[in-house]
């Protein structure tokens, strides 16, 4: 038998479940039979009603008692009762009862099944790393830049850089090998434009040379740039051209012996024809460069040229390489006039070059202090060579000293400062050389630090190709060693494998090819290489190569700002690293899941809470995108290098196998994956979750009051799948010894949608037996149950107490009080009525169970305390009572009830001889009192005085001085006629007090009294007051003697009719005689 719940035959449709993550639940110690033996039943085919109530999904299966208890508001009080204080009087309806009290027969408790195992949880679901994640929408091999849609971000311009916003949300950094922008005086970067415009008489334009700057008159000036160039209108101007270098420094020149030729401007170039005999001159303005080209038309053209230098803040010097360095006062080279060269017009169609010569010699002439001229001497022999084809071009140029950047290297020569880059294999005049291009990309490492590189392309403006109809491939590599652009020689530094290649041919007019761009896409390898640079790896730049020793590989490329070499780099400032920590909440068909994901910002841009969120893309097992979406916001802004751990939501899913790819997202912008940021892909397995049975009522150990108990289960289907409701089955078995499955009955075969079931009368459950019941819950595909049953008994129910009398704190004026208890048998079993039992105990201090006496069980509910129990006057007692049903059930008063015994006093005469607030009138009984002394005889002992007291409410007609009057001579003791033995004593002031006789023959004084009353030896009584005076009364109740505290006595004698005759002081012998007349006892 399997350890999981069995699916009853023919009752559920089969559901196939495949899990990518095995995370099973261990059910240690669970009986397989207890967990799986649900009855085999069928479901009816009729439609089921849908569930109308909420789900228990996500709620705990158990709660602590602190969530279910009720605390009384007064709990925690600290008041303590005063000594001998009675408990407060409480309502007796209902009377607090205590079950299982002493009863005629003890009842039995139900056995309790211990160690109930947790419910089955069904198949597990989970997330595991994907071994073959889907490719991100953006790959590093695809280009983001599109000249038709990409827009320049003007604020991101740099001297050699431009930034473009692309339609896909990425950006492209364009790095030019030559400056393309200059900084204005306002601090803005503006595009360099070397187009020559007519110079105004006085220039007010910022950053642009005026016509009269540097002594230049009229003519033209460059439109915009950091190094403004001004060119005069006539060749014989003292300063023919000048270039502003900055900081008040400039470099210019004139031409000795120049004719007054008028210049003609075309874009960035001015041509002066016939400036000397058979010679023309062109001046070309470039950013940081003033290129001068002498065109020698024939062998008769001059071979010596002198250029007076117009220098501001600069001093020239000639170095060993033949270059003229222009230095500032600090000795720093600010500009240079590179060593010149010559080229004739015998152009090789393949190379695009004529025959070249370095036979150009410079000499500096100081004509006056600080006034210098540059003398240029040309190699006459080379010019006169019969093979020379004219015209011949001579190139002396002024250049601002450039920052280290790129270079074209040819075997035997470094074209560090040149207007074209040379590449490939070239044979000229029988001399063959290979050439390569080295490109400085150092700025990329800092500009794009921590950015993500997604694509890169190298753009070269091809101005000549050996054979544009059959061009050769160009390859681009990353240099692996450092190099110096001014000193490096062919073959240059070492380099790695090709990052990309392209085959193109432009710029050979003889083949009908015009100039144009050649683009080399560096692909994934190029993106990865630059990614390494921005991540901190060494950046030695790029090199452009072709096959060796193949003349058809020869190419030349422009270096001008607009057409120079440009490296396009697609990038995004967003980079992210994802870490899967845990699946917090499984995703189901009805419940969103939660995965704990830590995201780390490895990019250069901050993630903001109101902009960025964690998202995912979902794929089914066929690789198709599933329209399932959920976003999880950031808890705080996450800067570069920062991390945040998110409980990421996964929208509910039907069971299946999926691939889920975590991805950061920007509001109103692309997902990071669309920018090429790698995502984290996980295998996500979801399955139909078994329903969960959370509770069973009645619970384990319950005692049922009826033989038809209602059984209720509570549970839920975690995913509400495949049905949106649950159905239930109930089973009740008799417990016989250790067998919990005897004589079982089931509510089946049909399952029911109600979670409650009332056991039918026909099942024959009886009192005094123990039963085990099982509850089952199903969802249409699986069923579940608690592995152990809940056990209950149907015991004889205890009777209940309805009322008790007397109320708590009651005062009795008898020593045989009557107690009452009423109760009833709620289950009428064993149907013999109810019996009662009473218990009385002395209560002293906190002990309420002293000298207890208990009655026998009897049917009457009213009981009188027997005289033999010996209750005493002026004492407190606690009493208890129980009701039983003669079948083992009983209920008792939970707390003691209290009563006291107090001697009853005469209603009126006990209040005589006292006024209210010290006055003569007592408002309580309406009595007026006064006193008078009629006669007095001096005596040693008790006084011999006739003192009488009047009480208006004294009803006695037989006093010595008449109705209402009383005196000492009227004192007497009168036993009660009710047989109680109590005695009423009449005092000298007319008051009457009753002394209660206890079972042992002693007497108890009235409440608050200090007198003692005892039986005299030989008959009669003795009354002693608080002063110690003793009054002796004979058996018929007459006062016969008085003795004070010192033992001095007074004797009273009576005549034969029982009237007082004389009162005698025993020590002095003095006496008072009493004479009576009339019909009263008045003397």
- Cis, peptide link before residue 94, omega less than 30° from 0: yes
Query: Is 427 or 619 the better-scoring residue by pLDDT?
Result: 619
What backbone phi and psi angles, to 5 degrees, belong to 250? -155, 160
The pLDDT, as a whole number, for residue 34 is 33
Taking 60 as the threshold, does the pLDDT of residue 24 lie above it?
no
Res 82 pLDDT > 90:
no
Can you give the pLDDT at residue 122?
Answer: 46
Mean pLDDT of 826-850: 90
What band does 667 get if pLDDT is binned at 50, 70 and 90?
Answer: confident
Instruction: Reply yes or no on whether the pLDDT at 295 is more than 80.
Output: yes
The pLDDT of residue 403: 56
The matching CATH number, chosen from 3.40.50.720, 3.40.50.300, 2.30.30.240, 2.60.40.10, for 798-900 is: 2.60.40.10
Distance of CA 317 to the CA centre of its chain: 73
CA 983-986-990 angle, to 5 degrees, is 150
* pLDDT (average), residues 882-901: 88
Q: What is the mean pLDDT of residues 560-578?
A: 91
131 band by pLDDT with thresholds 50, 70 and 90:
confident
Interval 555-580 mean pLDDT: 92
Would you state the pLDDT for residue 285?
A: 94
pLDDT of residue 411: 66
- The answer to whether residue 214 scores a pLDDT higher than 60 is no
- In the predicted model, is pLDDT for residue 390 greater than 70? yes
At residue 305, the pLDDT reads 97
- For residue 540 the two structure tokens come to 């030695």
Question: Do residues 738 and 146 make contact, with C-beta atoms less than 8 angstroms apart?
Answer: no
pLDDT band at 110 (very low <50, low <70, confident <90, very high): very low
Residue range 696-700: mean pLDDT, rounded: 93
Q: What is the 3-state secondary structure (H, E, C) of 955-1008?
A: CCCCCCCCCCEEEHHHCEEEECCCCCCCEEEECCCCCEEEEEECCCCCEECCCC
**Which DSSP letter does residue 126 get?**
E
- Whether pLDDT at 190 is above 60: yes
Q: What mean pLDDT do residues 281-302 have?
A: 95
Query: Over 90: is that where the pLDDT of 38 sits?
Result: no
Residues in the chain: 1083
pLDDT at 810 over 70: yes
Average pLDDT rounded to a whole number, residues 145-169 = 94
Confidence of residue 417 (pLDDT cuts 50, 70, 90): low
- Residue 843: pLDDT above 60? yes
Q: Where are the alpha helices (DSSP H) in 303-429?
A: 380-384
CA 334 to CA 356: how far, in whole Å?
28
CATH for 128-134+574-668+679-686, among 2.60.40.10, 3.40.440.10, 2.102.10.10, 1.10.3470.10?
Answer: 2.60.40.10
The predicted structure's pLDDT at residue 1079: 57
Work out the average pLDDT over 977-987: 91
Mode of pairing for the β-strands spanning 897-901 and 810-812:
parallel
Check residues 724 and 1003 and name the one with the higher pLDDT. Answer: 1003
Cβ–Cβ under 8 Å, residues 588 and 594? no
In whole angstroms, what is the distance from residue 950 CA to residue 963 CA?
Answer: 9
Report the pLDDT value the prediction gives residue 26, as an integer from 0 to 100: 28
Mean pLDDT on 782-792: 84
Q: Are strands 289-296 and 727-736 parallel, antiparallel or unpaired?
A: unpaired
Residue 795's pLDDT band, with cuts at 50, 70 and 90, is confident
pLDDT the model gives residue 291: 92
Q: pLDDT tens, 1012-1046? A: 999 999 899 999 998 899 999 999 999 999 999 99
CATH architecture of 1-17+690-795: Sandwich (2.60)
pLDDT surpasses 80 at 208: no
Stretch 801-825: mean pLDDT: 94
Position with higher pLDDT, 205 vs 553: 553
What is d(CA 534, CA 385) in angstroms, rounded to the nearest whole number?
A: 54
Which carries the bigger pLDDT value, residue 167 or residue 119? 167
pLDDT on residue 414: 58
pLDDT band at 40 (very low <50, low <70, confident <90, very high): very low
Q: Is the pLDDT of residue 429 over 70?
A: no
d(CA 568, CA 306): 44
pLDDT tens figures, 431-453: 788 888 889 998 899 999 999 99
For the ranges 1-5, 377-381, 474-478, 516-520, the lowest mean pLDDT is seen at 1-5
Tell me the mean pLDDT in the region 50-78. 36
**If you average pLDDT over every residue of the chain, what do you get?**
83
Range among 58-67, 782-791, 905-914, 1065-1074 with highest mean pLDDT value: 1065-1074
Tokens of 358: 């370095």
The pLDDT of 749-767, averaged and rounded, is: 93
| pLDDT score for 299 | 96
pLDDT of residue 405: 67
Average pLDDT over residues 37-59: 35
Q: What is the pLDDT of residue 468?
A: 86
H/E element, 411: none
Write down the pLDDT at residue 53.
Answer: 33
pLDDT at 79 over 80: no
Share of the chain above pLDDT 90, in %: 56
Q: What is the pLDDT of residues 474-517, one digit of tens each?
A: 999 999 999 988 788 899 999 999 999 999 999 877 777 889 99
């Amino acid at each position: 038998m399997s350890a999981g719940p069995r699916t009853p035959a023919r009752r559920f449709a089969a559901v196939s479940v495949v899990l990518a993550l095995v995370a099973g639940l261990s059910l240690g110690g669970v009986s397989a039979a207890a967990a799986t033996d649900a009855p085999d039943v069928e479901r009816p085919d009729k439609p089921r009603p849908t569930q109308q109530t909420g789900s228990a999904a996500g709620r705990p299966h158990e709660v602590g008692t602190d969530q279910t208890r009720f605390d009384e508001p007064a709990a925690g009080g600290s008041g303590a009762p005063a000594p001998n204080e009675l408990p407060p009087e409480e309502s007796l309806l209902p009377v607090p009862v205590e079950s299982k009290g002493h009863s005629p027969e003890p009842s039995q408790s139900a056995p309790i099944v211990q160690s109930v195992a947790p419910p089955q949880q069904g198949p597990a679901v989970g997330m595991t790393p994907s071994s073959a994640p889907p490719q991100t929408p953006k790959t590093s091999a695809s280009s983001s830049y599109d000249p038709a849609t990409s827009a320049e971000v003007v604020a991101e311009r740099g001297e050699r850089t431009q930034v473009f916003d692309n339609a896909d949300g990425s950006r492209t950094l364009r790095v030019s090998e030559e400056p393309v922008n200059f900084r204005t005086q306002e601090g803005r970067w503006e595009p360099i434009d070397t187009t020559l415009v007519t110079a105004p008489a006085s220039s007010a334009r910022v950053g642009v040379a005026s016509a009269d700057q540097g002594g230049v008159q009229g003519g033209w000036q460059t439109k915009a740039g950091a190094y403004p160039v001004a060119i005069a209108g006539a060749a014989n101007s003292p300063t023919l051209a000048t270039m502003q270098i900055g900081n008040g420094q400039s470099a210019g020149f004139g031409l000795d012996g120049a004719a007054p030729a008028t210049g003609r401007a075309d874009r960035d170039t001015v041509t002066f024809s016939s400036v000397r005999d058979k010679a023309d001159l062109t001046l070309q303005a470039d950013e940081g460069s003033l290129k001068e080209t002498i065109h020698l038309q024939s062998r008769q053209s001059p071979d010596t040229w002198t250029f007076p230098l117009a220098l501001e803040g600069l001093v020239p010097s000639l170095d060993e390489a033949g270059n003229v360095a222009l230095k500032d006062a600090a000795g720093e080279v600010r500009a240079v006039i590179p060593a010149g060269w010559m080229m004739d017009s015998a152009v090789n169609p393949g190379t695009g070059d004529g025959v070249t010569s370095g036979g150009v010699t410079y000499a500096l002439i100081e004509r006056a202090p600080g006034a210098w001229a540059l003398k240029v001497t040309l190699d006459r022999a080379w010019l006169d060579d019969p093979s020379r084809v004219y015209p011949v071009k001579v190139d002396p140029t002024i250049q601002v000293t450039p920052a280290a950047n790129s270079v074209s290297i040819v075997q035997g020569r470094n074209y560090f400062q040149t207007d074209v880059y040379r590449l490939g294999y070239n044979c000229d005049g029988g001399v063959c050389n290979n050439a390569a291009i080295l490109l400085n990309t150092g700025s990329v490492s800092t500009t794009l630090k921590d950015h993500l590189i997604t694509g890169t392309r190298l753009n070269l403006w091809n101005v000549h190709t050996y054979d544009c109809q059959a061009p050769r491939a160009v390859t681009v590599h990353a240099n692996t060693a450092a190099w110096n652009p001014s000193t490096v020689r062919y073959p240059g530094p070492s380099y790695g494998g090709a990052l990309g290649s392209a085959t193109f041919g432009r710029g050979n007019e003889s083949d009908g090819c015009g100039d144009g761009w050649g683009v080399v896409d560096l692909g994934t390898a190029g993106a990865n290489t630059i990614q390494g640079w921005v991540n901190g790896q060494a950046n030695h730049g790029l090199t452009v190569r072709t096959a060796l020793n193949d003349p058809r590989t020869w190419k030349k490329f422009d270096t001008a700002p607009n057409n120079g070499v440009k490296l396009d780099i697609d990038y995004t400032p967003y980079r992210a690293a994802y870490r899967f920590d845990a699946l917090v909440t499984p995703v189901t068909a009805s419940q969103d899941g939660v995965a704990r994901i830590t995201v780390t910002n490895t990019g250069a841009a901050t993630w903001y809470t109101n902009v960025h969120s964690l998202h995912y893309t979902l794929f089914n097992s066929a690789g198709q995108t599933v329209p399932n979406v959920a976003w999880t916001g950031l808890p705080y802004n996450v800067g570069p290098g920062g991390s945040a751990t998110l409980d990421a939501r996964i929208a509910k899913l039907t069971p299946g196998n999926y691939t889920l790819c975590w991805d950061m997202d920007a509001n109103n912008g692309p997902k990071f994956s669309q920018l090429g940021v790698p995502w984290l892909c996980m295998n996500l397995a979801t399955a139909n979750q078994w329903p969960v049975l959370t509770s069973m009522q009645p619970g384990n150990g319950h005692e049922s009051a009826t033989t038809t108990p209602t059984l209720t289960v509570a549970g839920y289907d975690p995913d509400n799948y495949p049905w949106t409701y649950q159905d239930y089955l109930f089973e009740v078995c008799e417990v016989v010894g250790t067998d919990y499955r005897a004589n079982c009955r089931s509510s089946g075969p049909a399952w029911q949608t109600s979670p409650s079931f009332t056991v039918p009368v026909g099942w024959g459950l009886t009192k005094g037996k123990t039963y085990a019941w099982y509850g089952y819950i199903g969802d249409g595909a699986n069923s579940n149950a608690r592995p152990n049953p809940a056990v209950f008994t149907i015991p004889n129910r205890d009777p209940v107490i309805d009322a008790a009398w007397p109320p708590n704190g009651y005062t009795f004026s008898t020593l045989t009080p009557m107690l009452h208890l009423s109760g009833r048998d709620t289950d009428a079993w064993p149907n013999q009525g109810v019996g009662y039992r009473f218990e009385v105990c002395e209560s002293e201090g906190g002990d309420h169970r002293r000298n207890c006496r208990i009655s026998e069980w009897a049917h009457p509910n009213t009981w009188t305390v027997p005289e033999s129990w010996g209750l005493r006057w002026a004492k407190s007692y606690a009493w208890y009572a129980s009701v039983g049903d003669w079948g083992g059930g009983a209920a008792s008063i939970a707390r003691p009830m209290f009563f006291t015994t107090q001697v009853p006093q005469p209603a009126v005469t006990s209040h005589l001889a006292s006024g209210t607030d010290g006055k003569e009138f007592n408002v309580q009984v309406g009595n007026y009192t006064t006193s008078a002394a009629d006669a007095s005889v001096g005596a040693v002992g008790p006084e011999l005085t006739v003192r009488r007291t009047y009480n208006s409410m004294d009803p006695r007609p037989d006093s010595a001085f008449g109705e209402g009057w009383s005196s000492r001579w009227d004192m007497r003791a009168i036993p009660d006629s009710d047989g109680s033995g109590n005695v009423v004593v009449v005092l000298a002031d007319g008051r009457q007090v009753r002394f209660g006789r206890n079972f042992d023959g002693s007497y108890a004084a009235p409440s608050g009294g200090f007198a003692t009353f005892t039986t005299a030896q030989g008959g009669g009584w003795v009354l002693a007051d608080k002063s110690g005076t003793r009054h002796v009364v004979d058996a018929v109740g007459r006062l016969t003697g008085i003795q004070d505290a010192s033992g001095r006595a007074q004797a009273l004698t009576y005549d034969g009719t029982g009237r007082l005759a004389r009162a005698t002081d025993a020590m002095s012998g003095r006496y008072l005689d009493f004479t009576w007349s009339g019909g009263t006892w008045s003397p």
